[in-house]
Amino acid sequence: MAVPHILPLRAFKDNYIWVIRDHSDAAVVDPGDAAPVLDYLSREKLKLIAILNTHHHNDHVGGNAALLQEFNVPVYGPIREPISTLTHRLRECDEKENEEGNVYLPEFSITLSVLDIPGHTAGHIAYYGANLLFCGDTLFACGCGRLFEGTPQQMVQSLEKLSDLPNETQVYCGHEYTLDNIRFARVVEPGNQTLIKREKTVENLRKLNAPTLPSTIGLEKATNPFLRCNQPEVIQAASRHAGRALTDRVDVFAAIREWKDNF
């Protein structure tokens, strides 16, 4: 069976709703708005077969109800979060447990494993499989989500879990924040040559109003300051910002997350 195509639908100011599709069927990840999904499905003559949610924020789940009025499909999402439209509540499971920790999309012959990645929200999950990672608002291209419900320790552990995935993993996150994130990262780590090259590439894409996603885990490990809290230049920048010497990775992360919040 052919590998399905992944493409973004734009919603609101900077959201991406990810569509997994082949010639006849489609699944959507984090449909905060039903309208662009319904328009696309109608235009492409596709049948919706599943909805996948990563967390409970309305800009990621707000379109569920309207889509369910048109399509009777399963809705997958985090067991620990209040999403009223879910039909399948998921959490990360080890290989010995049942399928509660997986989503199988038979139309595409894809199994996506569920990863618990709290920090942005308390029960945030990601979907990983077939070299694809749908990570919502936990990991962004050259950034990470704000800590609305979790702790720095939780977010560091979640980001480490994602950074342990293969370097070639395609990263599909929830927002077009890349250029702003890179501009902050350049202040934190001005000597990072890979980051300098990435900035030029992303600037050119944005001039064309083109998406900067997907990223890859390998690129994030090379350029994303929130995955580089053990690097000397990042530690030094975080320490200068905090006004004290920082050595613990969580303290370094917390300092640059607070810095980014007010950047």
What token pair was written down for 95? 């290989």
Average pLDDT in the 254-262 region?
A: 96
Q: 161 in helix, strand or coil?
A: helix
Give all strands of the β-sheet with 125-129 in edge-to-edge order: 102-105, 110-116, 125-129, 132-136, 170-173, 215-216
**What residues does each domain of the chain span?**
5-261
Q: What percent of the chain has pLDDT over 90?
A: 94
Q: What is the pLDDT of residue 93?
A: 82
pTM: 0.95
- Catalytic positions are 55, 57, 59-60, 120, 137, 175
DSSP letters for 71-88: ----EEEETTS--TT-SE
CATH number of the domain at 5-261, out of 3.40.50.300, 3.50.50.60, 3.30.70.270, 3.60.15.10? 3.60.15.10
What percent of the chain lies above the pLDDT cut of 70? Answer: 96
Asked if residue 175 lies in contact with residue 13, where contact means CB atoms within 8 angstroms, the answer is no
pLDDT digits (tens, 9 = 90+) for 68-102: 999 999 999 999 999 999 999 999 985 544 456 78
pLDDT in tens, 183-213: 999 999 999 999 999 999 999 999 999 999 9
Which amino acid is residue 126, in one-letter code?
A
**CB contact at 8 A, 119 and 162:** no
In our burial notation (b when 16+ CB lie closer than 10 A, e otherwise), range 11-39 reads: beeebbbbbbbbeebbbbbbbbbbebbbe
